[in-house]
Amino acid sequence: MAVTRDDVAHIAGLARLAISDDRMTELAEQLNAILGHMEVLQQVDTRHVETTAQEGNEALPLRPDAGPRFAMHRRLDEMAPEMRDGFFLVPRLATHEDTSDAS
Amino acid sequence: MTGLTAVDAVTASFARMEAVRAGADGLNCVLWSDRERSLAEARAVDARAERAPLAGYPVAVKDNIATLDLPTTCASRILEGYVSPYEATVVSRLRAAGSVVLCKTNCDEFAMGSSNENSAYGPVRNPIDTRRVPGGSSGGSAAAVAAGIARIALGSETGGSVRQPAAFCGVVGVKPTYGRVSRFGLVAFASSLDQVGVLGRTVDDAALGMEVIAGRDPYDSTSADRPVPGYRDGAARSMRGVTIGRPVEYFPTSLDPRVTALCDRALDALRAQGAQVRDISLPHTDLAIPVYYIIAPAEASSNLARFDGVRYGLRVTGDDGLRAMYERTRSRGFGPEVTRRVLLGTYVLSAGYYDAYYKKAQEVRACITDDFRRAFASGVDVIFTPTTPTPAFELGATSDPYEMYLNDIFTCTGNLAGVPAMSIPVGRVDGLPIGGQLITRHFDESGMFAAAYALERALGEEAHR
């Protein structure tokens, strides 16, 4: 399951990371080296194993969707790069550029 | 601490912080501090009518744990200058118990690393030998305790990030059971593994800190609703009737014989106190690193998706739309190791690879958990291992990512299984500290502390020679 430069470009897109061309090859090599060490897992017989994210303890209880409220000591607009009227402002979607040009 | 006021303790801590900060060999363990604010808190503690359990205890807090009055940056450019609008429950509990927060400590970026060389603010140096790393990712917290800045420090654990630096710096480091301590205000890395831990110079300081921070928190639904026993009661418990398991997989023939000898000396000391010691097997140990480095990056790739330049933290814009803003912000904000792990995690979760990597890793993780369950069911009360295969290595010694990951080989099993584990000093090799690791059943921190008190008492000064 070798990772190619194209794979790195694909997963970088999924992860919203811009990877420069000169780093692409190095990262593909590193991911291949790391994943090479993971191959050993394929030899383990796990046909009868049941999994949960964390088992053997009580740390995954169900609770109502609404948790308790907690105090916010700072306003959102003190932290956000850009806000207006209680909304976060972001750059326009590239696909909307044509519409805005027309208006 | 009799006679010493909180103001005295905090003043001394800041003097120590300044002394070890200066010069080319400066430890670089502190990222953010505010002396006047800490002194004001200390005066308020001294003015309290009742003496609080941690009165006069200056504490250091890892920079991925939220504090209201100091930045919380996770040692990352993407959170540069970020100050949290709420405080972590563990910090609030420490303050309520009378301790004063001194500083936020340097760490590997987003707690990803085993040497503290991945910080955006430069590496931390080991106080025992400043040419060497303090371990990671809670390297700043371990160094702050070892250097005498803080009596207690908070760190966080995902694969050994408290125990490994504790071992490298010659201090005590505790990772509680998954669910024992609230994670409200801990910046998430890998949510099925993360826990807040405590570092201290002595077992008693670590036990005291853990007593204060442990227990149910309504703000964290993964915190267990169980009473917290008095961990300091362990100081008086006998080792008679306690069975200690020595897992053969943690003592391979390739292990430095001096590390093996120090661990066996520690086991002899526990035996002399009445414990029985026997060899056991945890057969899936060798698979822990591959499992861990699939699960942790997978969960990290999801958790770190929130850093996108929209609501807080860094934003890098151009004139080419929203997606380019996301990509530019994240690429500029994340360092090389975080980028590598986000890519690795995205890959193992992506279509076509999920079953081969992520699902398989979860299944083998269940086998690792079962190893511990079987060992404890066979009558073993405490498992004893080395914390790390080697002492602290030199800065810049390891450039291969996977070789660095192998540092977690003896610690990440505890996170995968969710059991409590701690490191305590057991001696030195070439003048560098070696840690011994104690592991017990889920929620049996009491048994773990009792064994740690016994070991500390038995080894005495030998633990630091």
* CA dist., res. B157 & res. B192, Å (int): 11
* CA dist., res. B395 & res. B403, Å (int): 14
Q: How far is A71 from chain B (nearest CA, A)?
A: 7
Of B324, B320, B331, B305, the C-alpha closest to A19 is B331
* CA dist., res. B145 & res. A19, Å (int): 39
Instruction: Give the model confidence (pLDDT) of B171-182 as tens digits.
Output: 999 999 999 999
Contact A14 B324 (CB under 8 A): no
Report residue B3's pLDDT band, with 50, 70 and 90 as the boundaries: confident
The closest CB to that of A34, out of B82, B339, B402, belongs to B402
**Residue B328, pLDDT score:** 96
Number of residue pairs across A and B with CB atoms under 8 Å?
196
A30 token code pair: 């590193």
Instruction: Give the model confidence (pLDDT) of A8-18 as tens digits.
Output: 999 999 999 99
* CA dist., res. A6 & res. A39, Å (int): 21
Is residue B356 a contact partner of residue A42, using CB atoms and an 8 Å limit? yes
List strand residue ranges (DSSP E) for B366-449, in order. 382-386, 421-429, 432-439
Of B455, B387, B377, the C-alpha closest to B175 is B387
Q: Cα B279 to chain center, whole Å?
A: 27
Residues B53-75 have a mean pLDDT of: 96
Q: What is the per-residue burial (b if ≥16 Cβ within 10 Å, else e) of A67-76?
A: eeeeeeeeee
- Tokens 């590997």, residue? B108
Q: How far is A26 from chain B (nearest CA, A)?
A: 11
Residues B48-66 have a mean pLDDT of: 93
Give residue B133's identity as a one-letter amino acid code.
V
Contact A67 B218 (CB under 8 A): yes
Is residue B137 part of the annotated active site? The answer reads yes
Of B189, B233, B201, B195, the C-alpha closest to B213 is B195
The length of chain A is 103
Contact B325 A90 (CB under 8 A): yes
**Residue B26, pLDDT score:** 95
**Residue A101, pLDDT score:** 46
- With 70 as the cut, is the pLDDT of residue B315 above it? yes
Q: Is B80 exposed, middle or buried (0-12, 13-18, 19+ CB in 10 A)?
A: middle
The closest CB to that of B343, out of A8, A51, A70, belongs to A8
Instruction: Give the model confidence (pLDDT) of A54-89 as tens digits.
Output: 555 565 677 778 878 888 999 988 899 999 999 999
Optimal mutation site among A1, A3, A17, A39, interface B, most CBs of chain B within 10 A:
A17
**Residue A103, pLDDT score:** 40
Residues B249-257 have a mean pLDDT of: 96
Residues B108-112 have a mean pLDDT of: 98
CB contact set of B317 (below 8 Å; sequence gap of 6+): A91, B309, B325, B328
Q: How far is A5 from chain B (nearest CA, A)?
A: 12
* Identified catalytic residue from B38, B115, B138, B161: B161
- Answer whether the bond into residue B137 is a cis peptide, omega within 30°: yes
Kindly report the pTM of this predicted structure.
0.96
CB contact set of B126 (below 8 Å; sequence gap of 6+): B132, B133, B134, B135, B143, B146, B168, B169, B392
Is residue B350 part of the annotated active site? The answer reads no
Is residue B62 part of the annotated active site? The answer reads yes
CB atoms within 10 A of CB B376: 21
> φ, ψ for residue B113 (rounded to 5)?
160, 165
* CA dist., res. B186 & res. B319, Å (int): 35
> φ, ψ for residue A76 (rounded to 5)?
-60, -40
**Residue A71, pLDDT score:** 84
**Residue A102, pLDDT score:** 43
Report residue B386's pLDDT band, with 50, 70 and 90 as the boundaries: very high
Is residue A14 a contact partner of residue B260, using CB atoms and an 8 Å limit? no
B250 token code pair: 């943690």
Kindly state the percentage of chain B with pLDDT values over 90. Answer: 94
- With 50 as the cut, is the pLDDT of residue B16 above it? yes
- Tokens 């520690």, residue? B266
Q: Helices marked H in B234-352 — which ranges?
A: 257-272, 288-303, 321-333, 336-349
What is the ipTM score, two decimals? 0.93
* CA dist., res. B229 & res. B207, Å (int): 11
- With 80 as the cut, is the pLDDT of residue A100 above it? no
Contact A34 B293 (CB under 8 A): yes
Report residue B70's pLDDT band, with 50, 70 and 90 as the boundaries: very high
**Residue B262, pLDDT score:** 98
CB contact set of B379 (below 8 Å; sequence gap of 6+): B243
Average pLDDT over all residues of chain B: 96
Report the residue of chain A nearest B218, measured CA to CA: A68
- With 80 as the cut, is the pLDDT of residue A97 above it? no
Report the residue of chain A nearest B81, measured CA to CA: A79
Report residue A4's pLDDT band, with 50, 70 and 90 as the boundaries: very high
- With 90 as the cut, is the pLDDT of residue B216 above it? yes
Contact A68 B366 (CB under 8 A): no
- H/E element, B95: helix B89-96
Kindly state the percentage of chain B with pLDDT values over 70. Answer: 100
- With 90 as the cut, is the pLDDT of residue A1 above it? no
